[in-house]
Structure 1
Amino acid sequence: MAEPDTIPKGLVLGYTTPHPFSLIPLSSRASVQALLTSLLDPLLPFFSPLKSRIRPPGATAVRFDQSASEVEGIARPLWGLAALLAGGGEYVYKEWWVRGFAEGVNPEGKEFWGWPGDNDQRMVEMCPLGWALAVVPGIWEGLGEKGRGDVEAWLGNSINEKNMPNTNWLWFRVFANLGLKKNGGKFSQERLDADIVHLDTFYRGGGWSNDGPEGIHQMDYYSSSFAIHYLQLLYAKLAGEDEPERAAEFKKRAQMALLDLVHYYDAEGRSIPFGRSVGYRFAMVSFFGALAYADVELPAPLTWGMIKGIVLRHFRWWQTQHNMWSSSGTLTIGYSYPNMYMAENYNSPGSPYWACLAFICLAVPETHPFWTSEEESHWGVVPRTKLLPQPKHIMTYLGGHCMLLSSGQACSYPMKGTHAKYGAFAYSSAYAYSVPPGLFTLEQYALASQLGLSDDGGEYWKTRRLSESHLDEEKGVLVSRWSPFPDVKILTYLIPSVEATPNWHLRVHKIEAGREVMTADGAFAICNERRSDGRYLGLYDASLAEGSSPKLIGNYDLSTPEAWATGSKGAFAVSKGAVGIRALESEGVGRTATLVNADPNSNLVESRTTIPTLQHTIRAGETVWYISAIYAKPSGEGVPRETYLDGWETLPEVPVWLANEIKASS
């Protein structure tokens, strides 16, 4: 084994060179340890001389300073490294992180991280540092007297004196104090208690916490795996002896939320991309490992074999995403491939290593049933359809993918692509959401699973972002009211798939237009590449089970007659499965169907996509009803290509209550 001071040879990925991450057969705890090592090794050439910072490849700027960005680089891998060491594992270069920690907090040192200001990104990175101090034996003692004093000043005093955002960030201060407390360092019990009491005001019931106070409705992966539930469970484990009632409450919430959260993960290991920060990739599965770490008793009918299956299948799916790496083997900003369009303004080159949260399972003893159980699927025992009142989601697992219908969620501050990350109607584990790479014409807006409206002839488009919504549990539908323009009012019903027509769901819009508007109602985005040569899809060929209908035309030939069909005939595309859209309302409305050739890199998973879309123009003063049926049948093991369109001609039924409402308002 190499000595800790040895400069490792960097990894170079070429045209056909797979990342070591992709080559590890996953089954045991040891194999997941090796998976983590394959993530950490490529970071080693990018340490600073005194080991206090990591600068992964990429010179992209973020809303905070470069020093804080490089603190992210060294702190975030600690989520995995500390879990590995806490569980008795080893990593030959672990001392680099310990030495870097001491250098970074030394205010007289050449690589001092700097004192945090109000709302400083450094506060976020204090969380994995506090966690590492709390769980890894020897770090605190190894710092020496001066180092311990520097840590107390930087990790404790500075964060306790500063303002923080009123969000999940407050958990980061809790863990900064907890790490000091567990080692007998100077910390603030008063601040720690006050923060947890305030964080409890985010709790909404049913196991769910909101990422913020009243008036904000944002329940994404931060509510579960990225921060709130995850850190509640870690806290329950570390502070449970001193605070048994609080620990029991956090575990109870996790039990309730678990019965909802299993619906976000399909049989192939994919999770449903939804909301912000999905560039943290496999961090989306962290909650499940934290259940085992905190010794949560699983609610029926779930077993540890099912929890293990969710985690390992998820890792295996990411092992198939070969384009998410830099040529040096580091994680890139993006999802399945490097993508700045979907990135947040706080995603630095080191930011993706929040993904290391997923390795909390390595802190779980090898004798725990999480590791000793055989993998199982939860889909044989949980319902295929479930209504989730708190996040206002309807979850289904019909037709080959996990899907959620969503209404009412919105980020609390201006965010790039926020309408796509929270305001789309449907999100799928098989067909990821798309974000706009530009703001001119439908091709750049890439309105997958969204209804866009334009009042300038199709140059600029507005979609659902903010809405008043509720879950009608009696009818089993989501209802939202929204106004893209002050004088355009829209009522939207989202109706989930049913077993009779598992590949379809319905979305219905009543639009009252005070001005003339063009509309574009998009289905899911699908890969726009032919298997034979990688070029764009041609006209559908049944012998190949591939292509589109009508003909997919380039962005400069939109008036070509062959590119359009009636709304009732609809539009579909077949490549990795099939997606499509059809208009079920009266032919008199006059919607037409086409394929929007979305701009490259707008989708999270597929860099080239097309979106079957219904289009129409509503005149000023008109009220119209749209009934859009959206088709999706993903590819997958045991799904022959020739069956991708098997359900296309079997249309879903419009509910009687809805038909009566449309008739009464006409």
Structure 2
Amino acid sequence: MIYDPTRANPLCGNPLKTRDDLAKAVIDLFEPLLPYFSEGGARVRLGATGAIFDRAAADLEGFARPLWGIVPLAAGGGHFPHWDLYRRGLANGTNPDHPEYWGNLADRNQRLVELAAVGFALALVPEHIWDPLSESQKKTIAAYLVAARELEFIDNNWKFFRVLIDLGLERVGVPIDHQKTVAYLDELEAFDLGEGWYRDGPVRRVDHYIPFAMHFYGLIHTVLARGDEARKERFRQRAEIFARDIRHWFGPDGTALAFGRSQTYRFAAGGLWGALAFAGVEALPWAEIKGYYMRHIRWWSAMPIAERDGVLSIGYGYPNLLMSESYNSPGSPYWALKFFLPLALPEDHPFWTAEEAPQPAFPEPVSLKPAGMVAMHTPGNVVVLSSGQQHDKMRGANEKYSKFVYSTRYAFNIEADDRNFAAASFDGMLGLSDDGTHFRMRESLEEALIAGDRLYSRWRPWNDVAIETWLIPANPWHIRIHRIATPRALNTIEGGFAIERADFNADRSEQGEGRAVWYGQTDVSAIVDLSSSPRTGHAMSPIPNTNLIHAKTLLPQLRDEIGPGTTVLITAAMALPSGQDWAEALGNPPVRPDFDELERHFRENGVRVPAFDLQT
């Protein structure tokens, strides 16, 4: 039998149209984990790969993260047949005298993350996970959780984990110092950027942690916390405003924008839509919210995201460690189950009774000022131009945060070999090399500006090389302008969008002076040089397993050498599904913009991007 990776996906074959379909999905996602529970129920070890934290913490992760889906299922009246396993595991994992003890707690430790799911369970379904326990078991569990909430949590979304632990302890009657809870809530609110956006801590970036962490946990707080009405209202108002922006990170087929870290959490990216329902925040008409929500999970149901036994893999569109983070253990992907929060709502809630509405049309570019982004809705896709954000402490940070453009349909590539300039992708990016072997890309920024629907950044790939980049929407194209000041000659490669590659070399390409095009079986991708001295077009096939969605891709590039002094490069790039009017678009690339007018526009209208404008 030929292996069909989609059949291993527990969501495969589920129509995912109704509340009952989603309830079934939770059970189907959980059941492959049962063989991996330890005898005492506290440890769930799903694979041999490691993370920066110890094995016991990783095993706790495997135990706790499924609760994000199981708890709402039970709260909404659904049947989960393994509560005895979870009660036993919780009692044993928190018991220092048991061989399956999760280990001692410490400041900024991974255990603090995973215990938030336990707090959530205690707060929402104590009748299943707490009430049947003996008094001695309750005392042991409470002591472990109280000890955890007394420790230091990282200065970002982690601070919500103390809040969630406290919600659980409060629900089951364990006394706590509420001043610590309030202090963390105050500090979390200090990350507010305005217009519904947050930072995820004192950093120059925003990413999916804003919807699936900051807003997600804030909305849970509005439902489960006692009192604190003014803060709850602020959380609701910010989420309502934010929803109108974050919808532009979702494609018409349900895909989320692949951008930033922790992509292996997959359909957690759609969790905000369910959290809005859970908190009763009709930020958009319920039919639209439900449409964004249901399309998202259906897209994932067709992807090969699980191993042969149905256990979710580390990866995105397929198993792939190259794109992972150092904190991704085999249990990490199960944060995806945060998606199922609205199962806690009754079937007659307006979210569930609404008919799904399609994504509205957005013919004009949409500015997402706090994030320094501009979204363009193209056929089958949302293209997001980015002024650039930064994360300098993780693998693949350049690709995850600093490309010029991201897309819901054409996910980004991770560079696989930093000593092979000629084989690098540089999709949505400009790569530079001063020795023909090693290379640099946009990473950290000196400045990031937004002016209406246009973006600007200044960056230095080397200390003595300064680059200014302007980004302009020209739907379905976008234009990039780079002004490069260098004291020495540099080789340059600039890439368009990576599209899926067919077997048997069935795709067709064109390459020549100032242009490269790939005519794929599903999509067409093109890059055109608008500079005064056109570069050479190159149709390349990136190293396999570097793209987040497709294991094999095609990519058009422009290549050239620039000399010492100041050089201006102007690029137009676009990609469209093969069934769309790509021929007309390809035959009518945008004209070279008026550079003087562009600079004047930014002098008069440019403002610093709020996500980047952090005083350190």
Scaled by the length of structure 2, the TM-score of the pair is: 0.94
Note if 1:389 corresponds to 2:369. yes
Note if 1:403 corresponds to 2:376. no
The equivalent of 1:311 in structure 2 is 293
Return 436-445 or 308-317, whichever deviates more.
436-445
Shift of 1:659: 6.5
Note if 1:585 corresponds to 2:521. no
Counterpart-to-counterpart distance in 1, 2:424 and 2:228 = 50
Offset from partner CA, 1:185-243 (integer Å, 9 cap, x none): 13221211111111111111111110112xx2221010111x1100000001111x411
Shift of 1:72: 0.4
Shift of 1:13: 7.3
Aligned equivalent of 2:113, options 107, 117, 124: 124
Q: Matched residue of 2:586: which SS?
A: coil
The equivalent of 1:647 in structure 2 is 585
Return 574-583 or 253-262, whichever deviates more.
574-583
Note if 1:232 corresponds to 2:218. yes
Q: Matched residue of 1:79: which SS?
A: helix
Counterpart-to-counterpart distance in 1, 2:112 and 2:334 = 16
4+ long deviations beyond 4 Å = 12-18, 657-662
Scaled by the length of structure 1, the TM-score of the pair is: 0.87
Note if 1:548 corresponds to 2:509. yes
Amino acid at match of 1:430: R
Amino acid at match of 1:223: I
Offset from partner CA, 1:68-97 (integer Å, 9 cap, x none): 111000100000001111111111123212
Evaluate the alpha carbon distance shift between residue 312 and residue 384 of structure 1 in structure 2; reply closer, same or farther with a 3 A threshold: farther
Counterpart-to-counterpart distance in 2, 1:92 and 1:14 = 30
Shift of 1:17: 4.4
Counterpart-to-counterpart distance in 1, 2:6 and 2:57 = 35
The equivalent of 2:613 in structure 1 is none
Q: Is the 8 A contact 1:495 1:506 kept in 2?
A: yes
Q: List runs of 5+ in structure 1 lacking aligned partners.
A: 1-11, 538-545, 551-564
The equivalent of 1:516 in structure 2 is 489
Q: Is the 8 A contact 1:526 1:575 kept in 2?
A: no
Shift of 1:384: 4.5
Counterpart-to-counterpart distance in 2, 1:16 and 1:173 = 38
Q: Is the 8 A contact 2:516 2:539 kept in 1?
A: no
C-alpha RMSD over aligned residues: 1.9
Q: Matched residue of 2:126: which SS?
A: coil
Aligned equivalent of 1:251, options 236, 243, 253: 236
Amino acid at match of 1:523: G
Amino acid at match of 2:198: S
Q: Is the 8 A contact 1:224 1:287 kept in 2?
A: yes
Counterpart-to-counterpart distance in 2, 1:346 and 1:433 = 21
Counterpart-to-counterpart distance in 2, 1:420 and 1:369 = 40
Shift of 1:297: 3.4
The equivalent of 2:402 in structure 1 is 423
Counterpart-to-counterpart distance in 2, 1:627 and 1:132 = 54
Evaluate the alpha carbon distance shift between residue 167 and residue 660 of structure 1 in structure 2; reply closer, same or farther with a 3 A threshold: closer
Q: Is the 8 A contact 2:5 2:306 kept in 1?
A: no
Shift of 1:574: 2.3
Shift of 1:573: 4.0
Counterpart-to-counterpart distance in 2, 1:20 and 1:59 = 21
Q: Is the 8 A contact 1:152 1:186 kept in 2?
A: no
Counterpart-to-counterpart distance in 2, 1:14 and 1:421 = 29
Amino acid at match of 1:524: F
Shift of 1:548: 1.2
Spell out the pairing of 1:648-663 with structure 2 (5 A cutoff): 648-656=586-594, 658=596
Aligned equivalent of 1:320, options 281, 302, 305: 302
Q: Matched residue of 2:360: which SS?
A: helix
Counterpart-to-counterpart distance in 1, 2:542 and 2:132 = 55
Q: Is the 8 A contact 1:443 1:597 kept in 2?
A: no
Amino acid at match of 1:611: L
Counterpart-to-counterpart distance in 1, 2:296 and 2:382 = 14
Q: Matched residue of 1:355: which SS?
A: helix
Aligned equivalent of 1:290, options 237, 257, 275: 275
Amino acid at match of 1:628: T
Structure number with greater CO (CA < 8 Å, separation at least 6) is 2
Note if 1:595 corresponds to 2:539. yes
Evaluate the alpha carbon distance shift between residue 374 and residue 460 of structure 1 in structure 2; reply closer, same or farther with a 3 A threshold: same
Spell out the pairing of 1:407-486 with structure 2 (5 A cutoff): 407-411=387-391, 413-442=392-421, 445-457=424-436, 459-474=437-452, 476-486=453-463
Aligned length: 598
Shift of 1:15: 7.0
Q: Is the 8 A contact 2:252 2:358 kept in 1?
A: yes
Spell out the pairing of 1:91-130 with structure 2 (5 A cutoff): 91-130=80-119
Counterpart-to-counterpart distance in 2, 1:443 and 1:326 = 33
Amino acid at match of 1:481: R
Evaluate the alpha carbon distance shift between residue 496 and residue 14 of structure 1 in structure 2; reply closer, same or farther with a 3 A threshold: closer
Q: Is the 8 A contact 2:6 2:302 kept in 1?
A: no
Counterpart-to-counterpart distance in 1, 2:422 and 2:60 = 38
Note if 1:153 corresponds to 2:130. no
Note if 1:574 corresponds to 2:520. yes
Offset from partner CA, 1:264-313 (integer Å, 9 cap, x none): 11211111110000110000000010001011133xxx210111111111
Shift of 1:244: 1.1
The equivalent of 1:606 in structure 2 is 550
Evaluate the alpha carbon distance shift between residue 94 and residue 535 of structure 1 in structure 2; reply closer, same or farther with a 3 A threshold: farther
Shift of 1:472: 3.2
Amino acid at match of 1:232: G
Evaluate the alpha carbon distance shift between residue 104 and residue 661 of structure 1 in structure 2; reply closer, same or farther with a 3 A threshold: closer
The equivalent of 1:527 in structure 2 is 500
Counterpart-to-counterpart distance in 2, 1:79 and 1:660 = 48
The equivalent of 2:314 in structure 1 is 333
Q: List runs of 5+ in structure 2 lacking aligned partners.
A: 601-616
Note if 1:136 corresponds to 2:82. no
The equivalent of 1:625 in structure 2 is 568
Counterpart-to-counterpart distance in 2, 1:434 and 1:43 = 30
The equivalent of 2:176 in structure 1 is 187
Q: Matched residue of 1:518: which SS?
A: strand
Note if 1:218 corresponds to 2:205. yes
Counterpart-to-counterpart distance in 1, 2:243 and 2:138 = 39
Offset from partner CA, 1:316-337 (integer Å, 9 cap, x none): 111110x211111100000011
The equivalent of 2:352 in structure 1 is 371
Amino acid at match of 1:627: I
Aligned equivalent of 1:43, options 27, 33, 39: 33
Counterpart-to-counterpart distance in 2, 1:585 and 1:147 = 71
Q: Is the 8 A contact 2:8 2:308 kept in 1?
A: no
Evaluate the alpha carbon distance shift between residue 103 and residue 14 of structure 1 in structure 2; reply closer, same or farther with a 3 A threshold: farther
Q: Is the 8 A contact 1:86 1:137 kept in 2?
A: no
Q: Matched residue of 1:51: which SS?
A: coil
Amino acid at match of 1:329: G
Q: Matched residue of 2:371: which SS?
A: coil
Evaluate the alpha carbon distance shift between residue 353 and residue 535 of structure 1 in structure 2; reply closer, same or farther with a 3 A threshold: same
Shift of 1:649: 1.2
Offset from partner CA, 1:439-479 (integer Å, 9 cap, x none): 2224653211110110112x1110001113434334x2010
Counterpart-to-counterpart distance in 2, 1:18 and 1:176 = 34
Shift of 1:35: 1.1
